[in-house]
Amino acid sequence: MNFDGNFYNPSEEVVNNAHIKDWNKLNKFASENPEKFWTSMAEELHWFKKWDKFLDESNAPFYQFFVNAKTNITYNCLDVHKNSYRRNKLAYIWEGEDGSTRSISYNELYNEVCKFSNVLKSMNVQKGDIVTIYMGRVPELVIAMLACARIGAVHSVVYGGFSTESLHERIEDSVSKVVITCDGAYQRGKLVNLKDITDGAVDRSGVVQHVICVKRTGQEVNMLAGRDMWYHELMQLPIASIHCKAEQTDAEDPLFILYTSGTTGKPKAILHTHGGYMVGVYASLKYVFDIKDEDRYWCAADPGWITGHSYIVYGPLLNGTTSIIYEGAPNFPFPDRWWEIVEKYGVNILYTAPTAIRGLMRFGDAWAKRHDLSSLRLLGSVGEPINPEAWRWYNEVIGDGKCPIMDTWWQTETGMFMITPMPCMPLKPGSGTKPFPGIEMDILDEEGNSVADNEEGFLVIKNPWPSMMRTIYGNDERYVEQYWQKYPGMYMTGDSARRDSDGYYWVIGRVDDVIKVSGYRLGTAEIESALVSYPDVAEAAAIGLPHELKGNAIHCFVILKSGVTNADELPDKLKLHIRHEVGPIAVPEKIEIVDKLPKTRSGKIMRRVLKAQALGQDPGNLSTLED
């Protein structure tokens, strides 16, 4: 890329080889005629029956897309490729943390998914049933997700780093009859016993009838007769045939739910559907990461998050690409593990998070320089704003100055990239450039007016888009209240941003009580409720403060119950408690014991005051402060 003082411009070669060479032209077409734009993308996919209508807005904000169409996302992920020249192309190359490897072709993936679909059917899993999946980063996780979707069941993947408590809550909330797990997972050379954690969640739950366990580590686990079954044994039964027709799902039938943290209360289940979600992730991956048939693409996220759902599982398979899945940590056993993988498999596209980039940058350039990374053609970033220093390192040391960086802004709720460059666009480090064609966004002040250039405001989305969430599962009111109430007719992202005079968006961060820690999304409410569930704690407040590696780190303030002694050891005990209640990702950086918390007269904790105090900034308007 050539830097002209304002923009990093892609080379002529990059532009000439890209699917989209003229972003402005595509954007103009899409904004003047969104229906034509989206339906032309939909036409590239298979439908058992086409739609009667592209968009039904009659019950907004409960929008419907591709009304009355019939499809099944797995038909487009599997059958279409199996019936084409891609039959024996690799769908996945998997590398375990321990060095073991597996290659899975489209044909083989099709067979495995059909087999497991039949297993699920034999357990009486039916269309619309929710199945919880709690696993490490192994191919069976993808197979399990696809098998659910194939029979019209709804998967609910819970990230393997969550605790028993969090898993229990999600199983209960979604009323899952079946849970799929592993015996264990490798984590920096250590074994984590996932089956134990699952048992802890399932034993207390009245809803689970069966637990299916994938053998990954071979460690000793308890198998409860009648309830627990080994995946590999089920897959050998005659019932597990390699033929299973994809259920003809309605475009609006649910595909999955995924829990994510919100502003208040418990994590909420974001619901996505077969039709619109499919079109959105297919089109966005194709154009943004410019997928070509010969590419090897690596999204280094965890399939347990939306990034993995959209851009490890569905997007890449819809595009018939070959993806890498790596099981372990980026710096295990050495800080060049990722660069070794890029070289070994000839990865062309690498998509990761700023926190990982900063983490690897810290070890110096030499680890990357030991490897031939010349196969890379595009890089990507997601999860939080990328600081210009990390952007430049990623560009220069990893991309050798020739790989455009796709800084993609989106959310669990949006399903797909919303603010993102395409390879043909000039870049600015730290900006995701402009909204994806067909998406209309704006930045508003408190009253709902667009702010001037370079001014900060609330980031909103002004028109519905196919891959948008449909609701919060089981809580339509909360869906309306949380996303559509502040500015009627517009979707509230919960982020603040500014737009510069070139029309480029700069996302600043959350304006609600969500904290992004190493790209993970956590709610202050979850951390606080874990803290007050500890017997010695009377009240608690959690805030996010800037952190060099993690982006933000959690800082907590607690008031103890009267008469509590031994307060010195309490912060450490509380950290352990949060690890048990929520999971290791939620462990605070610091816990301070205080006598008082700033509150409004109605008793709400004023976190912004705590934050300003901690940062030595002006706390702003204090008129509502109680004392």
- Binds ligand WT7 (CB under 6 A): choice among 409, 436, 473, 491: 409
Half-sphere exposure of 290 toward its Cβ, with a 13 Å CA cutoff? 27
Decide if residue 306 touches ligand WT7 (CB under 6 A). Answer: yes
Decide if residue 105 touches ligand WT7 (CB under 6 A). Answer: no
| Residues in Cβ contact with 13 at an 8 Å cutoff, skipping those fewer than 6 apart | none
- Binds ligand WT7 (CB under 6 A): choice among 156, 352, 408, 471: 408
CB 143 within 8 A of CB 151: no
CB 467 within 8 A of CB 415: yes
Decide if residue 583 touches ligand WT7 (CB under 6 A). Answer: no
187 vs 496 by CB, closer to ligand WT7? 496
276 vs 598 by CB, closer to ligand WT7? 276
Alpha-carbon distance of 352 to 299, in angstroms, equals: 6
**Any idea how long the chain is?**
627
Alpha-carbon distance of 616 to 627, in angstroms, equals: 19
CB of 386 to ligand WT7, least distance (A): 7
CB of 156 to ligand WT7, least distance (A): 16
CB 378 within 8 A of CB 289: yes
Tokens 């998509």 sit on residue:
351
- Strand 296-299, strand 268-273: pairing: unpaired
CB of 103 to ligand WT7, least distance (A): 27
- Binds ligand WT7 (CB under 6 A): choice among 521, 555, 577, 607: 521
361 vs 416 by CB, closer to ligand WT7? 416
Alpha-carbon distance of 280 to 468, in angstroms, equals: 9
- Binds ligand WT7 (CB under 6 A): choice among 202, 300, 507, 585: 507
CB of 281 to ligand WT7, least distance (A): 12
Decide if residue 518 touches ligand WT7 (CB under 6 A). Answer: no
Q: Which stretch binds ligand WT7 (CB under 6 A): 201-209, 283-291, 435-443, 504-512?
A: 504-512
164 vs 412 by CB, closer to ligand WT7? 412
Q: State in Å, rounded, how far the first CA of the chain is from the last one.
A: 55
CB of 337 to ligand WT7, least distance (A): 22
Alpha-carbon distance of 562 to 539, in angstroms, equals: 12
Site for ligand WT7 in 425-484 (CB under 6 A): 432
What number of chain residues touch ligand WT7 (CB under 6 A)?
Answer: 22
155 vs 510 by CB, closer to ligand WT7? 510
125 vs 270 by CB, closer to ligand WT7? 270
Alpha-carbon distance of 241 to 110, in angstroms, equals: 11
SS (H, E, C) 362-430: CCCCHHHHCCCCCCCCEEEEECCCCCHHHHHHHHHHHCCCCCCEEEEECCCCCCCCCECCCCCCCECCC
Q: Which stretch binds ligand WT7 (CB under 6 A): 30-38, 50-58, 74-82, 404-412?
A: 404-412
- Binds ligand WT7 (CB under 6 A): choice among 383, 438, 457, 523: 383
Decide if residue 552 touches ligand WT7 (CB under 6 A). Answer: no
Alpha-carbon distance of 239 to 584, in angstroms, equals: 39
Decide if residue 516 touches ligand WT7 (CB under 6 A). Answer: yes
Query: Helix 34-43 to helix 23-32 angle, to the nearest 10 degrees?
Result: 110
Decide if residue 307 touches ligand WT7 (CB under 6 A). Answer: yes
- CA 578 centroid distance within chain: 22
Residue in 356, 382, 359, 384 with CA at minimum distance from that of residue 514: 384
Decide if residue 541 touches ligand WT7 (CB under 6 A). Answer: no
CB of 574 to ligand WT7, least distance (A): 25
CB of 129 to ligand WT7, least distance (A): 25
- Strand 378-382, strand 405-408: pairing: parallel
Site for ligand WT7 in 260-299 (CB under 6 A): 260
Decide if residue 385 touches ligand WT7 (CB under 6 A). Answer: yes
Decide if residue 382 touches ligand WT7 (CB under 6 A). Answer: yes
CB of 569 to ligand WT7, least distance (A): 33
Tokens of 157: 């993947």
- Binds ligand WT7 (CB under 6 A): choice among 297, 410, 483, 557: 410
Decide if residue 302 touches ligand WT7 (CB under 6 A). Answer: no
CB of 553 to ligand WT7, least distance (A): 16
Decide if residue 411 touches ligand WT7 (CB under 6 A). Answer: yes
- Binds ligand WT7 (CB under 6 A): choice among 56, 336, 407, 526: 407
Give whole-number Cα distances, 420 to 8, 57, 177, in Å: 15, 26, 39
- Binds ligand WT7 (CB under 6 A): choice among 71, 198, 412, 471: 412
Plot region of 429 (φ>0 → left; ψ -120 to 50 → alpha; else → beta): beta
169 vs 407 by CB, closer to ligand WT7? 407
Question: Is the dihedral angle over the CA atoms 13, 16, 20, 26 positive or is it negative?
Answer: positive
Residue 327 phi/psi, 5-degree rounding, is -75, -30
Which positions touch ligand WT7 (CB under 6 A)?
A: 260, 306-307, 382-385, 407-412, 432, 493-495, 507, 509-510, 516, 521
